[in-house]
């Protein structure tokens, strides 16, 4: 299982907390075998957070523009609407983003 998680194409998107929750009821030997996987994911998360912080520091965050945001969300280029829902429009594969600004900080969205 640990090898499959490590080789999985989507494995790099696994958060350390999620893997730890998954493994919490397994025997110690299984949890120990996951240590390299957890360490690599923790390093990846740290790098991602540093990259986001650098980008955030360089970007001037302006007040939101609902019309521009809606246009971007429903544009063919971004295609957010294919997976995500806003109000009653859009897909249902990804999370509903109707109230995302109320539950996430600006830096999280960047």
97: alpha, beta or left, given left = phi > 0 and alpha = psi -120 to 50? alpha
pLDDT of res. 92 = 92
Question: Given this model, what pLDDT does residue 47 score?
Answer: 92
Alpha carbon separation from 18 to 12, 23, 42, 43 (Å, rounded): 12, 9, 11, 15
The tens-digit pLDDT sequence of the chain (110 residues) is: 888 888 887 777 778 888 899 899 999 999 999 999 899 889 988 998 899 888 877 776 667 788 988 999 999 999 999 999 999 999 999 999 999 989 988 777 76
Q: Would you kindly state where each structural domain of the chain is located, as residue ranges?
A: 2-58, 66-109
Residue 89: phi and psi, rounded to 5, are -110, 150
Considering the entire predicted model, what is its pTM? Answer: 0.53
């Amino acid at each position: 299982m640990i090898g499959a998680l490590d080789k999985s194409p989507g494995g790099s998107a696994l958060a350390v907390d999620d893997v730890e929750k998954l493994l919490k009821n397994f025997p110690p030997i299984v949890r120990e075998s996951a240590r390299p996987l957890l360490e690599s994911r923790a390093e990846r998360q740290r790098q991602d957070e540093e990259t986001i912080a650098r980008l955030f520091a360089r970007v001037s965050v302006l007040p939101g523009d609902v019309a521009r945001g809606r246009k971007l969300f429903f544009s063919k280029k971004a295609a957010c609407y294919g997976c995500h829902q806003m109000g009653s429009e859009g897909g249902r594969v990804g999370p509903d983003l109707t109230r995302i600004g109320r539950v996430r900080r600006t830096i999280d969205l960047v």
